[in-house]
Chains A and B, each alone.
Chain A
Amino acid sequence: MSKPDPDIEAIIAREYSAGFVTDIETDAVAPGLNEDVIRLISEKKAEPEFMLEWRLRAYRHWLTMSAPAWAQVHYPPIDYQSIVYYAAPKTDKDRPKTLDEVDPKLLETYEKLGIPLQERALLAGVAVDAVFDSVSVATTYKDKLAELGIIFCAFSEAVREYPELIQQYLGTVVPHTDNFYAALNAAVFSDGTFVYIPKGMRCPMELSTYFRINTANSGQFERTLIVADEGSYVSYLEGCTAPRRDDNQLHAAVVELITLRDAEIKYATVQNWYPGDADGRGGIYNFVTKRGRCRGANSKISWTQVETGSAITWKYPSVILEGDNSIGKFYSVAITNNHQQADTGTKMIHLGKNTKSTIVSKGIAAGHGSNAYRGLVRIAKSAAGARNYTRCDSLLMGDQCGAHTFPYIEVKNATAIAEHEATTSKISDDQLFYLRTRGMSEEDAVNMIVNGFCKEVIKELPMEFAVEAQKLLAVSLEGAVG
């Protein structure tokens, strides 16, 4: 530990393994944002009138807002007029019906990332709605799901095919007025995913979408809406990885989850945006609004996330616990290495009686990373008997990094209980030495300790995702010790 190790230096110098660019031709509009660009986006997607109106309302509201400045992150001001707001792969003009019709270059890209789309879809029984840049390219298992009354499709398709569902639920969890990035997303969102699980249906497979930013300077504005009708259940997986870039890229997604009575949504994310090089150049800015609304009694929403990428992450998957006895959960691992910054956490808003929430946050900071947990637990007057349990652990590697915890707890009902525990620890030399005497390399030893630290969160992930997440943790921390 004490002396610099040449092997460690070599590992540090190793490049991001997903950092390559695929040269698919892109159909993009000129940079900049105004009402004409929004009309163009809407037109290109053949949207109904209500959608355009909604976008324009959001845009006009966005013009009155400014970017939040309270988070524990630092970056140069973003020039929103230099961003490209619409980009679609050329193949969109001739939308593929099956994987065979998909641009082989694209499939190759997934291949390089170790995401064999076809294998995953066919062998793992996972339906995949792959979002490449801003347009859904391949959707599998859709028909099978359709037989069960389950809708799993590109957002743009849902807008055309199921306008009444979209109108009924869109923006009911994250209104366009919610925050700066949510307003921007509402104005310009390009595509994303829509899921509807009908009454009493237990979705028989994990639904999964892989995102990947590919076009230089094209901001990504995904929009996801998942509605679980009464007594239904769905588990949804979101994963992403981005190729290497020199310019910082803005990603401002919105995810809305809605559960009606007795319904449950499990939403898992393994996030691997390109974090920037060792000096912090070129990474993704990930400003995401994710929120769930337990509208019905006895309904459940859980967020599980493994955040390893991005130059900057600003993200608070939250749950509004409206229905009596509803349950919200948040399990998170966030890693910051090199010059990465993360300001992430959750909000649990208790409105219904006997609502329960659990928050388990594991922050790992290495290199010059800065890791902030920001959590709000608000228990309203109406939430008699509400319970919250929060655990917030930070692991520091080296002495150049930092971890900060900002818990905000507001309890307005005397019968409610909110518990908060927080720890900060360092990987000890004794632990490393012990594992190395058992034949593990220093890197493997670090990974083992980190995986142990994150175990409570990792075990919430579906099996194949858990394996992927562990690999990601290892890649993210390469060179963190020395």
Chain B
Amino acid sequence: MLSIKNLKVNVDGKSILQGLDLEVKAGEVHAIMGPNGSGKSTLAQVLAGQEQFRIVDGEIRYDGNDLSTLKPEQRAHAGIFLAFQYPVEIPGVSNIYLLKAAVNAARRARGAPELDAMDFLAVVKEKLKLVDMPETFLYRAVNEGFSGGEKKRNEILQLLLLEPRLAILDETDSGLDIDALKIIANGVNSLRSAQRAFVLVTHYQRLLDYIKPDRVHVLAGGRIVRSGGAELALELEERGYGWIEAETGAGA
């Protein structure tokens, strides 16, 4: 589904990703771990189409097609979703308005009829329960005054509504208490299917207690320096990243 080869990305002229390779198949869950500043968010944003990040080499293929020519919205229409590490606030725009617009943009893209306000409300109320958010969140401005945890839950709400084929979660677990973590894990697990893939960017093994990954990768110095099964995450939890960096010669 997703195939990244020798990806090199510059941000403001600085080289951040330096030859990254990653293969994700439909039905799989991949965890990407790594020290701060190693380029995890950069990778996530590049996949979503952030134009400020320049691809200087390599390629990204999604369903076999070159992704780099697609605009962010076209990627969304093709089923790619990014849950942001830092979701932005949009004053004056009610959450429900954005959610409905996003859902209908996705529906239009796949030739499905748009949902009207009543139908949408019924759908969104169901999903709200899954992320344990009160209805009042629908009528507040997007992310405005939301706590860190509420913002993350709102991202998962969007994930549940949009049902993407490739979902990238950038540190959605950071700063959450254990109950919120479970909610997010439940959300992800409820969507797991043979047609869908997940890329989870995370710092902590504990998310992976609830979402069992097929593969775990360590991103350091702008490259994937080690890949393994779920047990790699446990090892990282115990030993930190230093030993891998030492072994592979990748300075963070």
Residues 122-169 (chain B) with a chain A CB within 8 angstroms? 141, 158, 162
Residues 400-439 (chain A) with a chain B CB within 8 angstroms? 428-431, 433-439
Contact with A along B50-68 (1 / 0, CB 8 A): 1110000000000000000
Q: Could you tell me if A436 and B101 are in contact, using CB atoms closer than 8 angstroms? A: no
Cα distance, A449 to B50, chains bound together (Å) = 18
Q: Which residues of A contact B91 (CB under 8 A)?
A: 452-453
Cα distance, A291 to B222, chains bound together (Å) = 64
Cα distance, A3 to B49, chains bound together (Å) = 14
Given A433-B72, A437-B81, A439-B106, are A3 and B51 also a contact pair (CB < 8 Å)? yes
The residue in chain A whose Cβ has the minimal distance to the Cβ of B45 is A433
Given A2-B51, A439-B106, A452-B92, are A434 and B87 also a contact pair (CB < 8 Å)? yes
Is A17 an interface position by the 8 A CB rule? no
Cα distance, A438 to B71, chains bound together (Å) = 12
Is A240 an interface position by the 8 A CB rule? no
- Within the complex, the shortest CB–CB distance from A68 to chain B, in Å, comes to 34
Given A435-B98, A436-B76, A439-B73, are A2 and B52 also a contact pair (CB < 8 Å)? yes
Q: Could you tell me if B90 and A449 are in contact, using CB atoms closer than 8 angstroms? A: yes
The residue in chain B whose Cβ has the minimal distance to the Cβ of A434 is B88
Is A441 an interface position by the 8 A CB rule? yes
Q: Which residues of B contact A430 (CB under 8 A)?
A: 88
Q: Could you tell me if B88 and A436 are in contact, using CB atoms closer than 8 angstroms? A: no
Is A455 an interface position by the 8 A CB rule? yes
Q: Could you tell me if A448 and B76 are in contact, using CB atoms closer than 8 angstroms? A: no
Q: Which residues of B contact A441 (CB under 8 A)?
A: 73
Contact with A along B82-94 (1 / 0, CB 8 A): 1010011011110
Q: Which residues of A contact B48 (CB under 8 A)?
A: 433, 437
The residue in chain A whose Cβ has the minimal distance to the Cβ of B84 is A434
Q: Could you tell me if B93 and A438 are in contact, using CB atoms closer than 8 angstroms? A: no
Q: Which residues of A contact B98 (CB under 8 A)?
A: 435, 438, 448
Q: Which residues of A contact B84 (CB under 8 A)?
A: 434
Is B11 an interface position by the 8 A CB rule? no
Cα distance, A444 to B71, chains bound together (Å) = 14
Q: Which residues of A contact B90 (CB under 8 A)?
A: 431, 434-435, 448-449, 452
Q: Could you tell me if B158 and A438 are in contact, using CB atoms closer than 8 angstroms? A: yes
Q: Could you tell me if A429 and B52 are in contact, using CB atoms closer than 8 angstroms? A: yes
Residues 8-30 (chain B) with a chain A CB within 8 angstroms? none
Q: Which residues of A contact B158 (CB under 8 A)?
A: 438
Q: Could you tell me if A444 and B101 are in contact, using CB atoms closer than 8 angstroms? A: yes
The residue in chain B whose Cβ has the minimal distance to the Cβ of A5 is B71
Q: Which residues of B contact A453 (CB under 8 A)?
A: 91-92
Residues 423-482 (chain A) with a chain B CB within 8 angstroms? 428-431, 433-442, 444, 448-449, 451-456
Cα distance, A453 to B91, chains bound together (Å) = 7
The residue in chain A whose Cβ has the minimal distance to the Cβ of B81 is A437
Q: Which residues of A contact B162 (CB under 8 A)?
A: 438-439
Is A1 an interface position by the 8 A CB rule? yes
Given A430-B88, A444-B101, A452-B141, are A436 and B93 also a contact pair (CB < 8 Å)? no
- Within the complex, the shortest CB–CB distance from B58 to chain A, in Å, comes to 20
Cα distance, A103 to B92, chains bound together (Å) = 43
Is B102 an interface position by the 8 A CB rule? yes
Please pick, from A436, A452, A456, the residue contacting B71 in the complex, using a CB distance under 8 A.
A436
Q: Could you tell me if A451 and B105 are in contact, using CB atoms closer than 8 angstroms? A: no
Q: Which residues of A contact B93 (CB under 8 A)?
A: 448-449, 451-452, 455
Q: Which residues of A contact B50 (CB under 8 A)?
A: 433
Cα distance, A434 to B106, chains bound together (Å) = 15
Cα distance, A431 to B144, chains bound together (Å) = 12
Please pick, from B82, B92, B97, the residue contacting A437 in the complex, using a CB distance under 8 A.
B82
Q: Could you tell me if B92 and A456 are in contact, using CB atoms closer than 8 angstroms? A: yes
Q: Which residues of B contact A433 (CB under 8 A)?
A: 48-51, 72
The residue in chain B whose Cβ has the minimal distance to the Cβ of A436 is B72
Given A449-B93, A451-B93, A452-B141, are A437 and B88 also a contact pair (CB < 8 Å)? no
The residue in chain A whose Cβ has the minimal distance to the Cβ of B103 is A439
Q: Could you tell me if A439 and B92 are in contact, using CB atoms closer than 8 angstroms? A: no
Is B75 an interface position by the 8 A CB rule? yes
Q: Which residues of A contact B77 (CB under 8 A)?
A: 439
Cα distance, A439 to B106, chains bound together (Å) = 7
Cα distance, A452 to B97, chains bound together (Å) = 10
Q: Which residues of A contact B52 (CB under 8 A)?
A: 1-2, 429
In the A-B complex, the 5 residue pairs with the closest CB atoms: A452-B92, A439-B105, A452-B93, A436-B72, A455-B92
List 26 A-B residue pairs with CB atoms under 8 Å apart, sorted by A's residue number.
Answer: A1-B52, A2-B52, A428-B88, A433-B49, A434-B84, A436-B72, A437-B48, A437-B49, A437-B72, A437-B75, A437-B81, A438-B158, A439-B76, A439-B101, A439-B105, A439-B106, A439-B109, A440-B73, A440-B101, A440-B102, A441-B73, A448-B97, A449-B90, A449-B93, A452-B141, A453-B91
Known A-B contacts: A2-B52, A437-B81. Give 18 more (CB < 8 A).
A428-B88, A429-B52, A430-B88, A433-B48, A435-B90, A436-B71, A436-B72, A438-B102, A439-B73, A439-B76, A439-B77, A439-B101, A439-B109, A440-B73, A442-B71, A448-B90, A451-B92, A453-B92
Chain A interface residues (CB < 8 Å from chain B): 1-3, 428-431, 433-442, 444, 448-449, 451-456
